[in-house]
Each structure stands twice: as structure tokens, then as C-alpha cells.
Amino acid sequence: MADTLEIVRTKLFIDGRAVDATGGREYGQFNPARPKELVGHAALASEQDVDTAVRSAHAAFPKWAALSFAERAILLRAIAAALTANEADVAKRSRLFTREHGKITRETMMELSRLGDRFMLCASYADRLAKDEELQGPPFDTLVTRQPRGVAALIVPWNWPLSILGAKLPQALITGNTVVVKPAQNSALAPSLTLKIVAEMLPPGVLNIVTGSARDFGDGLVGNPLVRNVNFTGSISVGKHVM
């Protein structure tokens, strides 16, 4: 099919808009099965871009946190429907995912559909999360209540990027946190296009997407004083560095 050979170009997504990286920097993504085959170009974020994304998420936090769990659940359900509403677009993103990643088509389709399922699952938790829990003593009674923490930095690996993100992103959103997502450098195209669908359905700044090399801006993301929560999946050595 003609679109399988399309050269894709993705941008950063910050404060409700798709934007170029500083200086228009980008990098190539190649098909791991055909190393000379260019699949597309992803924006190469700088520390300045990441700081802008974090500040955007921080600015959006008060209004997003002020929504009720039920109000946020309505948006999560709408996102779940939107992720798979356009079958042609899902198939196109799946083929792109296979070309940039090397995963077989059956698995890319599984990932794309599973993300929406995770949004629906988290939306179903809204009523339970909204209720305080009373734990009876002895030695004393305890009241458990839930409050959002602020900006969450979500870092996903290359192997199952959308499936693993499904265990991070909807959970952060339903609980009232705003987010900066960093996809893996070598599987950024299809995940970025998929996350853009999510981000466009949320208030500006609630979900921001930065792509590129952790060597360029990783410390600037996890070490930013406005980031209140880091969720990392990846290698042991990098995990130790993040910690």
C-alpha cells in the first residue's frame, strides 16, 4: 500500500500545540528489518523544550486537579473511543509502528487497542477513587484520602511502548496529575501520533510529549523541580541513575 512507504515527520506537543523542537532539530527513524529504509523524522527536543513542557504541565495542573474524578472519567472514556474510532487511521498507525519498531502487525494492533482499554478501565475507578477510606483501629482510626501530586514525568521503553504507557498515563490523568511523556528514542513516531490524539482531547498543557535522546535532556526532565512524580520503565542501569 502506498502509505506504507510514506516518510512521516512528528513534532513535539506542548501546551496544546504541535511544535518544532528548538532550532528545528530532528532525527531519523529507520526500519530495523531494513536498516537503510528511512521511516520518518522525529523532533529532537532540547532541555529548553523539556523545561517549556514541564512548565506547561505545571500551569495546567490547578484546573485539571480541580475537576472531579467523574469529570475526568468522562474525558478518559471519550479518549478511549477516539483512539480506535477511525479504523483507517488505526491501520495506518499500526503499519507505521511495525516499520519503525519491527513488531509484527498483530502486536502493533494489540498495542493500539489496549491503550484505549486501559483508559476505559481507569475511568471505571472514578467512583471508588472519589471516596475516602476509613480504616478502623486500634490503635487509632485512619482516614485515607487521595490528592493529585502535580506534574508527572512518564518515561517508556521501546519494546511495548503503548502497552506500558497504558499502565502509566490514564492512571496519572484520572488522579488529577498533569503529564510530560517521553517515548523511547527509537520508537517515537507511531506512539507520538497516538498520544497526539489523546493530548488534543485534553485541556492545553495537561499532556505534553517530548521526543529525542535521554542523553540530551533526561536529567533536565527527571531533575526539574516542578516534576513531582517520575514513572520510569527501562534498564536497571538507567533506573538507578533516575533514582
Report the distance separating Cα 174 and Cα 166, nearest Å. 12
- Percent of the chain at pLDDT exceeding 70: 98
pLDDT score recorded for residue 98: 94
What is the reported pLDDT for 2?
Answer: 43
Helix residue spans in the chain (DSSP H):
47-66, 69-85, 87-101, 105-123, 126-130, 161-165, 169-174, 189-200, 214-222, 236-242
CATH of the domain spanning 2-242: 3.40.605.10
Assess whether pLDDT exceeds 70 at residue 143: yes
For residues 179 and 194, what is the distance between their CA atoms, to the nearest angstrom? Answer: 15
In this prediction, residues 162-177 reach a mean pLDDT of: 96
pLDDT per residue as tens digits for the range 49-91:
999 999 999 999 999 999 999 999 999 999 999 999 999 999 9
Give 142-184 as a DSSP string: EEE-----SEEEEE--SSSHHHHHTTTHHHHHHTT-EEEEE--
Is the pTM here over 0.85, yes or no? yes
Q: For residue 70, give the C-alpha cell.
A: 467523574
- Which three cell numbers, joined as nine digits, stand for 112? 493500539
Q: Quick check: 3 pLDDT over 70?
A: no
What are the residue ranges spanned by the domains of the chain? 2-242
What per-residue confidence (pLDDT) applies to 4?
Answer: 46
What's the pLDDT score for residue 6? 85
Residue 154's DSSP bridge partners are 181, 231
- pLDDT for residue 1: 42
